[in-house]
Structures are given as C-alpha cells and as structure tokens.
Amino acid sequence: MESAKWKGGFHFVFCVLHFAFFIFSSCAGPQALKRHLPADTAADLLKIASDDIARLRTFEGEARVSLRLEGVRQKALALVLFRSPSDLKVDVTGPLGIRLMTASASGEDLRVFLPRSNELYEGRADGDVLRRVTGVDLGAWAPWRALLGVAPANSGRVEGFEREGERLIVRVREGAGTRRLTFDAQGLTLAEEEVYDREGRLVVRRRMSDYRETDGVVLPRRIALSQGEDEVRIEYTEWKLNRGVEEERLRMRVPQDVNRVR
C-alpha cells in the first residue's frame, strides 16, 4: 500500500514538473539565429543581409525610445510605420501621451514637426534635418533603414573581409568615406556598423541586437545609434510585418500657422 502511494505521489510530482517545463519552454524567448554562410565571401554575406528584408512590404511597430543629448537623458514612446520602398512615419510621445515629434519621409523628402514649438522642418532625407532635431548624424542611411536597423544598400566597393573570432568584418568604401560592418558569425546578422569620413575619423556608430525572424523577414528588436556622447536607443516591444499600412496613416497633418524651417 505504501509503495503504491509513493508511486502515485512520484507520478503526480513528475506530471507537475513536466507541465512546468512545458510552460517554461513555451514562454522562453526565441532561440538565437544560427545560419550557414554558403561561401566565405563578403558578397554572400551582404546578399544574406539584403535578403533578410527583401520580403518586408509594410511595418508597424511600437518602441521605447531613449535619447541622450548633451548629457541629458530623455525617454519616450514611438509608433513607427513603414511601407516599401521608402514611405516612413514616426510619432513620438512623451509622458502623459504628449506628442513630442512627428516625422515623415518619402523618397528623398523628409518633414519633421515639433508640436511644442509649432515648427516644421523640411528638407532632403539625407540626415541633416534629423541631425538638427536629434543631435545624431543619420545621413549614412535612408531614414527607414536607420530606424529599423537594416543593413545599408550594397552601393560601395568591398575593400576587406575577415573573421575575428565570432565576428565577420566587412569594410566597404563608399563615396568619400568607409563603412565597417560587423556581423555575428552564427546568425549572420549585422551587429555593428561604423561610418568613417575621408580622414578616417569615426562619424557615427550603430549597434543592433535581439534579432527576430518573422515570415522570412529578419529584423533587430534593439538599435542604438551614437555620435560622440549623444545617443538614440530604440527597443521595439511590438511589431506587425506585412499586415498593410493605410495611406491615411502615413500622412502628416500640421497646423496652418506652422512655422516652416528649411
């Protein structure tokens, strides 16, 4: 009798532990990407980075944003909308849901509206407008590539490719400057990118981590862009890929008496 009770109790405990393990396994975070590089060349690695976002048609994401400008840290929330090939809209809100900034980009045009000062910055999407607003030079990327942590378009000349432990390093000459792209050797995802000017001075750096694969699209959840002591951090808490983004939601509306700054 005692033996039967002991076996029954053991079976009950085993079932509880099995159930707990199942729940823990189902709630655990996604496994890190592990992929194989077909040929040990920069061309193949850059093609994989390009293919990772080739299927991305639309993006809707909510993110926590942290900005450190001139030693002062500010936190906000952002709603990011993207529609291929280059339509982007970002709404940034602060405490109590107060709107701090709305930005929209399409092709080569960029507009940034600051409700507090009732100012509308308009110009080319070459980073100058965003640099004046955020303090960080984002001219090295198209706005949507900067905010989604997407690898740059393959428009430069590869000058070097090497392996450093668990990292793959690609150096690309582009215009008057160079890029140093650091990829994770296991996931083949872009972990860091440094942009240098013609004199070899570091202009801006960005780091990407916590990559997720959704419907064949690979994107990072965490992005950090820094220039000197200034920094912008983006952490996506939710996103929807290829669910569609209506034209109406991409439009920016500003007051008629807005102060236009060019």
In whole angstroms, give the CA distance from residue 136 to residue 51: 28
Tell me: pLDDT of 24 over 60: no
Q: Which two tokens stand for residue 60?
A: 């809707």
Give the DSSP H or E segment for 202: strand 202-214
pLDDT of residue 132: 72
Neighbours of 251 (CB within 10 A): 9
Rounded to an integer, the average pLDDT of 10-24 is: 42
Residues 6+ apart with CB under 8 A from 177: 195, 196, 197, 198, 203
Helix (H, G, I), strand (E, B) or coil at 34: coil
Give tens-digit pLDDT for 50-106.
999 999 999 999 999 998 766 678 899 999 999 999 999 999 998 888 898 999 999
Q: How confident is the model at residue 19 (pLDDT cuts 50, 70, 90)?
A: very low
User: What DSSP character marks residue 56?
Assistant: -
Contact 150, 172 (CB under 8 A): no
Q: Which domains does the chain have, with CATH numbers?
A: 42-257 (2.50.20.10)
Give tens-digit pLDDT for 193-209.
999 999 999 999 999 99
How remote is the C-alpha of 242 from its chain's centroid? Answer: 16
- The model's pTM: 0.83
Question: Exposure string (b/e) for 122-148, b if CB count within 10 Å is 16 or more?
Answer: ebebebebbbebbbbbbbbbbbbbbbb
Give tens-digit pLDDT for 113-171.
999 899 998 888 776 777 777 667 777 888 899 999 999 887 789 999 999 999 999 99
pLDDT of residue 69: 66
